[in-house]
Amino acid sequence: MRARPVLWIVIPCYNEEQVLPLTAPLFIRKLRQLEEDGRISRRSRILFVNDGSTDKTWEIIRKTAEEHEECIGICQSRNRGHQNAVLAGLMEAKDRCDITISIDCDGQDDLNAMDEMVDKYLAGAEVVYGVRSQRKTDTWFKRTTAQMFYRLMNMMGAEVVYNHADYRLISAKVLQHFADFEEVNIFLRGMVPLVGFPSDTVYYERNVRLAGESHYPLRKMLALAFNGITSLSVKPITLITTFGIGFSILGVILMIWAIVQACLGNTVAGWTSTVCIICLLGGIQLISLGVLGQYIGKTYLETKRRPRYIISARTWEPETRHWIEENDTGNESTEKEQIGNI
Ligand code: UDP
Ligand code: MG
């Protein structure tokens, strides 16, 4: 059995002024309970990542950090998307804790699953995936499109854990290696399994959002699936090649048929069929070029080596206030004030 770990709960927040005041106390209560149960160290923290919100989210995070010692916040310089926000939080946490749990801030994921996640870590797992046992509370449309998302991902060669979103425990050990994955197009669900190490699964029920609205409409979900597929797999290119071979064979058969017809002296059929074939092939070629373009575009972006996240403000100072010193409470509020005002 492992020693009591220092846990950092990483919570991405984007325009969540409605839900954050409701869920922040729940996260704090959960952390205290985990500490009291003796599962985690009392030096554990909750890290809110403000993903460039345009509403009062950052103010709420700063206020929460001032009022509660166990809460801290970082702010991205602009909205970079959910995946980058989680990554920013995980990278901030990796050298300061033993384990991290990433969770959405809207209260949809059952906090009680954390107990089991930590237990599984204590029993030896380095990654514990939170998997939704059912989606009764989602609308039929959301449920169906989400299921199609996972099927499509797996069909296209991006292996993801079915019904697992971004609620998971990752140990600092895994994160150290994860930091070596330097790609810019991030799809955490598909990347974490690539790091390896022993993993386990915890099942939980997904609730409805406590307040506010989803930031993942169908359009964004499709974009995420497309990003995941093209970031993790080259299967679409293989599919295009297969299509290409199929159509070439068909073309040869048609050619032979046309020659035979010409030899027999039959008039060649009207132009409609020709036009249809041209259109069909033209369409397929365009799609193929589009997909190839996606890969080239990604290569282009990767070669730029842009930073994957930029933290513009913190509610704490990593250098002067070292976590691991438990009794170092210092002149905390003034310190936070100063940092907040930068
Ligand atoms: N989120 C984020 N940046 C974004 C969009 C969303 O940090 O650009 C956060 C959001 O605040 C929430 C989580 O990602 O904590 C999941 O978003 P949401 O609940 O809207 O998605 P859904 O659960 O409906 O798929
Ligand atoms: Mg949600």
DSSP class per residue in 211-262 = SS--S--HHHHHHHHHHHHHHH--HHHHHHHHHHHHHHHHHHHHHHHHHHHH
Q: pLDDT at residue 12 above 90?
A: yes
Residue 340 pLDDT > 50: no
Tokens representing 55 are 């509403």
Residues in CB range of 334: below 8 A, 6 or more apart: none
* pLDDT given at position 183: 82
At 342, the pLDDT band (50, 70, 90 cuts) reads very low
| Residue in the block written with tokens 């205290």 | 32
Residue with the smallest CA separation from ligand 1 atom 8 is 81
Query: Greater confidence, 301 or 115?
Result: 115
Say what the pLDDT of residue 341 is: 40
Measured by CA distance, the residue closest to atom 11 of ligand 1 is: 13
CA angle, residues 306, 154, 185, in degrees to nearest 5: 5
Q: What is the residue whose two structure tokens read 């939170």?
A: 130
Mean pLDDT of 307-321: 72
More confident residue, 88 or 248: 88
Q: What's the 83 CA to ligand 1 centre distance in angstroms?
A: 9
pLDDT > 90 fraction of the chain, expressed in percent and rounded: 42
Q: What mean pLDDT do residues 136-157 have?
A: 80
Give me ligand 2 centre to Cα 209, in Å: 6
What's 179's DSSP letter?
T
Question: Look-up: residue for tokens 């704490």?
Answer: 316
Which atom belonging to ligand 1 lies closest to the Cα atom of 105? 15
Contact in structure between 98 and 62 (CB atoms under 8 Å): no
- Least confident among 95-104, 195-204, 232-241: 232-241
* Strand (E) or helix (H) holding 85: helix 82-93
Confidence of residue 334 (pLDDT cuts 50, 70, 90): very low
pLDDT digits (tens, 9 = 90+) for 165-183: 899 999 999 999 889 888 8
Is pLDDT above 60 for 329? no
Mean pLDDT of the chain: 83
> Containing H/E element for 164?
strand 164-171
As a whole number of angstroms, the distance between CA 341 and CA 337 comes to: 6
- Could you tell me which of 340, 342, 341 has the C-alpha nearest to residue 62? 340
DSSP class of 156? T
Give the pLDDT mean for 45-56. 95
- The confidence band for 14, taking pLDDT boundaries of 50, 70 and 90, is very high
Structure tokens at 132: 């939704």
Look at the alpha carbons of 87, 103, 127, 162 in this order and tell me if their dihedral is positive or negative.
Answer: negative
| Range in 144-148, 251-255, 294-298, 311-315 with the lowest mean pLDDT | 251-255
Residue in 215, 219, 221, 227 to alter for ligand 1 test, most ligand atoms within 8 A of Cβ: 215
Q: Kindly list the protein residues whose Cβ atom lies closer than 6 A to any atom of ligand 1.
A: 12-14, 16, 51, 79, 81-82, 85, 104-106, 108, 214-216
Decide: residue 145, CB within 10 A, 0-12 exposed, 13-18 middle, 19+ buried: middle
**Confidence at residue 125, expressed as pLDDT on a 0 to 100 scale:** 94
Structure tokens at 26: 């729940």
* pTM reported for the whole predicted model: 0.77
Instruction: Give the Cα separation of 240 and 235 in Å (integer).
Output: 9
71-76 and 311-314 as β-strands: parallel, antiparallel, unpaired?
antiparallel
Looking at ligand 1, which residue's alpha carbon is closest to its atom 5?
Answer: 82
Q: Is the pLDDT of residue 148 over 60?
A: yes
Cα–Cα distance, 288 to 241 (Å, whole number): 9
d(C-alpha 38, C-alpha 7), whole Å: 12
Mean pLDDT to the nearest integer, 58-82: 94
What's the Rg (C-alpha) of the chain? 25
Mutate to test the pocket of ligand 1, among 106, 147, 149, 219 (most ligand atoms within 8 A of CB): 106
Using a pLDDT cut of 70, give the percent of the chain over it. 88
Asked if the model's pLDDT at residue 339 lies above 60, the reply is no
pLDDT at 74 over 90: yes
Q: Whose CA is nearest to atom 14 of ligand 1?
A: 82
Return the percent helix, strand and coil in the chain, to nearest 5.
50, 15, 35
Q: If pLDDT is split at 50, 70 and 90, which confidence band does 272 have?
A: low
Cα of 214 vs centre of ligand 1, distance in Å, is 7
Residue 16 Cα: closest atom of ligand 1: 11
Q: How many other C-beta atoms lie within 10 A of the C-beta of residue 173?
A: 15
